[in-house]
Amino acid sequence: MLSLFFAGRLSFGSPTPLQIGALVFALALQGALIVMQGRLLPPTTPEHVRWLWVSLIVGVHFLPMAVAFGPRMLLLGCACIATAFVGLVVPTVPYEAFGIVDGTLKVGFGAWLFSTKPAVVGGLH
């Protein structure tokens, strides 16, 4: 919400239709995957496993956002997906470790995105 409020001051120009479409697609994809997750996981699924799936879904939704925000979003998406995947396949590690890594990735990449001006190539960041 804050990014929308400050978009006029923080943006580097008007988004292209492709960038807007990529953002709409990313949000729709995330919504659809979360609904699917809620319907496909059994009711007895532990809460930490559900959260790992949500983290994986959020990582997937970052991938198409790279069209609007640049290749750093691909890197963030892959890192979030990898973190969630490891959490799902190594159940002996406490969920909190993966939650901390996931949160640190998002805060770190957010700071990185705000701290540097992206290179504009062909109208895309």
**pLDDT one-digit tens code per residue, 67-101:** 988 899 999 999 999 999 999 999 899 999 999 99
More confident residue, 102 or 125: 102
Q: In the numeric block, which tokens belong to residue 85?
A: 């995947």
Q: What is the pLDDT of residue 79?
A: 96
**pLDDT one-digit tens code per residue, 4-58:** 566 666 666 778 889 889 999 999 999 999 999 999 999 999 999 999 999 999 9
Residue 64 in contact with residue 26, Cβ under 8 Å? Answer: yes
**Distance between CA atoms of 106 and 1, rounded to whole angstroms?**
16
**Distance between CA atoms of 5 and 23, rounded to whole angstroms?**
17
**Distance between CA atoms of 67 and 105, rounded to whole angstroms?**
20
Exposure string over 88-119, b if 16+ CB within 10 A, otherwise e = eeeeeeebeebbebbeebbeebeeebeeeeee
| Closest C-alpha to 79, from 66, 94, 92 | 66
Q: What is the pLDDT of residue 5?
A: 63
Q: What is the pLDDT of residue 121?
A: 47
Question: How far is Cα of residue 90 from the mean position of the Cα atoms in its chain?
Answer: 22
| pTM of the complete model | 0.81
Whether the predicted pLDDT of 113 surpasses 90 = no
Q: What is the pLDDT of residue 1?
A: 52
